[in-house]
Amino acid sequence: MTSPDNEPGMVLFTLVCPECGVANPDNSLNCMVCDRDLTNIVLFLEDDSFDLELTDEFLIEYRKNFWGTERTGKVIKYPLSEISNIEYGSPITRFKFDYNGERLVIPLKKENMEVLKEVLPNIIDG
Ligand SMILES: [Zn+2]
């Protein structure tokens, strides 16, 4: 479905720290502000009502308040090994999957959905 080679000019993520939101230089191992380990972050997406982080093993949702201005402190970690039946809704961009016996639906911005759709299958099948 997708080509195995990554396009060389295509940068899929920047090193924004998922914990504190600070942008770090590309090759950073730890966040310069909060010292969080940045080596296992595959993807970080900022959306309207949450930030979404993808690592090799987890999809992590950092909930934001109604206005999307700050985080509520609620963090939900979905182990990728327990996610199944992934669907990328279109034209209404809803990311759907089965987890823990439930069907979860996460509304994503279109541009975030495109990136996730590109990256996630590589992690899960890999
Ligand atoms: Zn940080």
Q: Which domains can be identified in the chain, with CATH numbers?
A: 41-125 (2.30.29.30)
Ligand 1 center–CA 11 separation, angstroms: 21
pLDDT value at residue 16: 87
pLDDT of residue 11: 43
Gap from CA of 65 to ligand 1 centroid (Å): 20
Residue 39, SS3 per DSSP: coil
Residues of the chain with pLDDT under 70: 1-14, 125-126
How far is the centre of ligand 1, averaged over its atoms, from the C-alpha of 82 (Å)? 27
pLDDT for residue 14: 66
Distance 37 CA to ligand 1 centre (A): 9
Phi/psi at 89 (nearest 5 deg)? Answer: -65, 145
Q: How far is the CA of 102 from the centre of ligand 1 (A)?
A: 32
Check residue 38 and give its pLDDT.
92
Residue 49 and residue 68 in contact, taking contact as beta carbons nearer than 8 Å: yes
Q: How many CA atoms lie less than 13 Å away from 89 in the CB half-sphere?
A: 12
